[in-house]
Structure 1
Amino acid sequence: MTAIGIYGSAGRMGRAITDAIETAGATLAGGVDAGDDPSPLAAAADVLVDFSTPSAIEAHLAAARAVGTALVIGTTGLTPQHQSLIDAAAADIAILQTGNTSLGVTLLGILVREAAARLGPDWDVEIVEMHHRHKVDAPSGTALLLGEAAARGRDSTLAELRVDSRAGLVGARSEGTIGFASLRGGSVIGDHSVIFAGEGERIELNHRGDDRSIFARGAVRAALWLADQPAGRYRMGDVLGL
C-alpha cells in the first residue's frame, strides 16, 4: 500500500486527511508540524501531502527533493517566490499544487474556463467566496484558482485581469477584468460563485463545501495518483484526466 506522509498533521486538514487515508486503502507514514524536521518523514513516505503554512514550503520542498518523494501541496497564500521554488523542485520530483483539492471544485474550474472561452469580454466575470472567520488569506486559494481558469479561457493571465477590491469612487468597471469579493464569518467551510454577467442575462456557477472531508478525500486521491507520476508539475485536473 502507498504510504502517505502529512506536513501540517495537527491542523484541521491534517486530521481530516489522516481519517481519509484510513478509508482509501493507503497507509499513514506519519506527520510533522511547525518546528519539526521534515526530512525523516520525506524519506519514510511514498508521497507527501502538505497543508501547513507558506513559511514552511521551502523546507518541505527541499526535504522531498533530497529523497525524490512526490509532493501534493494544498497550502494556500503562496507568493510568486514560492511558485518559483515549486517550479524548480518539479524538475526532480512530481508535484501537484492546487488551491483546492475538492473534485467538485476541479470540475468547476473546467466549466469556468470553457464559459470564459466561449463568452466575449463584454461578459463581466466576478468571483465571490466565503469562508469561516479563522481563514487568514483572501481571496481564497480556490477563488484564485477559478480566476486563473477564467483568465486562461480568455487567453490571458490573472495578473493582467485581476481586480481585488473596490472602495470609493473607483469609476466604471473595465471590460475584461476579473473581480473578486471575499466574505468571512461563522464556520463556513467554503462557498464559491463565479458570475458571468452579460447584457440582460447572467450565468452563475457555484460550489458549496459542506464538510472538510471533501478536501481530504480529494487530497488522498491526488496523492495516490501522484505517487506513480514522473517528475513534473501537475494540477488536480490531471488526476481526473481533464
Structure 2
Amino acid sequence: MSKMKIAIAGANGRMGHMLIEAVLKADDAVLTGALDVPDSPNLGNDAGMFLGEKTGVTVESDISRALEGAEYLIDFTRPEGTLKHLDYCVKNNIKIIIGTTGFDEAGKKTIAKAAETISVVFAPNMSVGVNVTMKLLEIAAKNFAEGYDIEVIEAHHRHKVDAPSGTALKMGEVIANAIGRDLKECGVFSREGITGERDPSTIGFSTIRGGDIVGDHTVLFAGTGERIEITHKSASRATYAQGSLRACRFLADKKNGLFDMQDVLGLK
C-alpha cells in the first residue's frame, strides 16, 4: 500500500511543527511539502530542521513548489491563507484537511463549494477526545434542555487571535441543534453592566486568554440544586496532529465531499 503524500501549511508555526513531526513518525505517510508565509525565517531550510532531522523537504512560500506531488494538504493557518490554499487544491485535485478557525459565513460557503470538487475535512478541532466530547454534549443537552442554564467556557494561549474559539462555537452549535435552537439567535457572547436576569433560552460563552494554555473547554449545565460540567483539556497539540492524520486516512477513498471529525470517527 502506497504512503499518503502530505504537505503542511504554516510549517514554521507551533501546529505546523507538530504536524510535520507526526507525519514523519507515521508509517503510512510521507512528507512531500512544507508551505509558509513569504517572510518566514525558515524559508529555504529543511522542514525537519527544528527536530534536527534532514527530510529533503524545503520550506517554501510558493504554493506550486510546496504542493508539488502532494495528495493531501493539512492547513491550520488563518482564514485568508487557507482560502487561497483551498483554491489551489481545487484546481489541482488535492484533498485538504482544514483545522483553521475564524471563518465568516462567506468563507464557510467557499469551503462547501470546493467540496463539490475535492474531498475536505473541515473541523474546528481535530482532537479525537474533543469530538467524543461533542457527542457527550449532544446526549447531555437533550436531557438538560429544560430547567438548566447552559454556559460554554474556553481558555487558550495569549497568541490566539479569534474568540470564542472555533471549538467553543462548535460545542454551542451541537448543543443548540440538539435542543432545537439556533445558536445565531440564542448565543450570548458578552455581558457587562446591568444585564437583567439570565434568559433561560440562551447559551452563554466566556473566553479566557493567557499564557501557554493549549486549549480548555467546559460546558456547564446549571440547574436548581445541581451542576453538571463536561470538560476537555488539551495538554499537547499532538492530539490535533494525530486526528489530522486520521482525517487523511478517512479521505483516502473519497473523491469529493465535505466531512468533519464526527464523520471521520464514525460518531454520526
Q: TM-score, normalised by structure 1?
A: 0.95
Q: How far off its partner does 1:90 sit?
A: 0.8
> Relative to 1, partners in 2 of residues 1:42 and 1:115: Cα closer, same or farther, differing over 3 Å?
same
CA distance in 2, matches of 1:115, 1:106: 14
Q: TM-score, normalised by structure 2?
A: 0.87
Equivalent residue, structure 1, for 2:6: 4
User: Secondary structure of the residue that 1:195 maps to in structure 2?
Assistant: strand
Q: Does 1:30 pair with 2:33?
A: yes
- Is residue 70–residue 93 contact of structure 1 (8 Å, CA) maintained in 2? yes
Equivalent residue, structure 2, for 1:125: 150
CA distance in 1, matches of 2:255, 2:220: 37
Equivalent residue, structure 2, for 1:21: 23
CA distance in 2, matches of 1:39, 1:172: 56
Higher relative CO (Cα under 8 Å, sequence separation at least 6) belongs to 1
- Is residue 43–residue 69 contact of structure 1 (8 Å, CA) maintained in 2? no
Equivalent residue, structure 2, for 1:61: 86
- Is residue 57–residue 82 contact of structure 1 (8 Å, CA) maintained in 2? no
Residues 10-63 of structure 1 deviation map (CA, whole Å, 9 limit, x = unaligned):
111011001111222210111111243324444521111011111112211110
Unaligned runs of 5+ in 2: 39-60
Equivalent residue, structure 1, for 2:50: none
Letter in 2 for 1:20: A
Map residues 39-58 of structure 1 onto 2, 5 A cutoff: 39-58=64-83
- Is residue 131–residue 185 contact of structure 1 (8 Å, CA) maintained in 2? yes
CA distance in 2, matches of 1:224, 1:198: 42
Q: How far off its partner does 1:118 sit?
A: 2.3
User: Secondary structure of the residue that 1:181 maps to in structure 2?
Assistant: strand
Q: Does 1:154 pair with 2:179?
A: yes
- Is residue 129–residue 139 contact of structure 1 (8 Å, CA) maintained in 2? yes
User: Secondary structure of the residue that 1:44 maps to in structure 2?
Assistant: coil
Q: For structure 1, which segment, 37-46 or 167-176, has the greater mean C-alpha deviation from structure 2 after superposition?
A: 37-46
CA distance in 1, matches of 2:180, 2:62: 42
Q: How far off its partner does 1:78 sit?
A: 1.2
User: Secondary structure of the residue that 1:106 maps to in structure 2?
Assistant: helix
Query: How many residue pairs are counted as aligned between the two chains?
Result: 242
Equivalent residue, structure 1, for 2:224: 199
Map residues 166-181 of structure 1 onto 2, 5 A cutoff: 166-181=191-206
User: Which protein shows a greater Rg?
Assistant: 2
User: Secondary structure of the residue that 1:114 maps to in structure 2?
Assistant: helix
CA distance in 2, matches of 1:230, 1:122: 45
User: Secondary structure of the residue that 2:19 maps to in structure 1?
Assistant: helix
Equivalent residue, structure 2, for 1:79: 104
Letter in 1 for 2:150: V
Letter in 1 for 2:165: S
User: Secondary structure of the residue that 2:191 maps to in structure 1?
Assistant: coil
User: Secondary structure of the residue that 2:219 maps to in structure 1?
Assistant: strand
User: Secondary structure of the residue that 1:18 maps to in structure 2?
Assistant: helix
Percent identity of paired positions between Structure 1 and Structure 2:
42
User: Secondary structure of the residue that 1:205 maps to in structure 2?
Assistant: strand
CA distance in 1, matches of 2:251, 2:116: 15
User: Secondary structure of the residue that 1:160 maps to in structure 2?
Assistant: helix
- Is residue 125–residue 178 contact of structure 1 (8 Å, CA) maintained in 2? yes
CA distance in 2, matches of 1:223, 1:176: 38
CA distance in 2, matches of 1:194, 1:120: 13
Alignment root-mean-square deviation, CA:
1.3
Letter in 2 for 1:170: T
Q: Does 1:185 pair with 2:242?
A: no
User: Secondary structure of the residue that 2:258 maps to in structure 1?
Assistant: strand
- Is residue 33–residue 68 contact of structure 2 (8 Å, CA) maintained in 1? no
CA distance in 2, matches of 1:19, 1:192: 26
Letter in 2 for 1:29: T
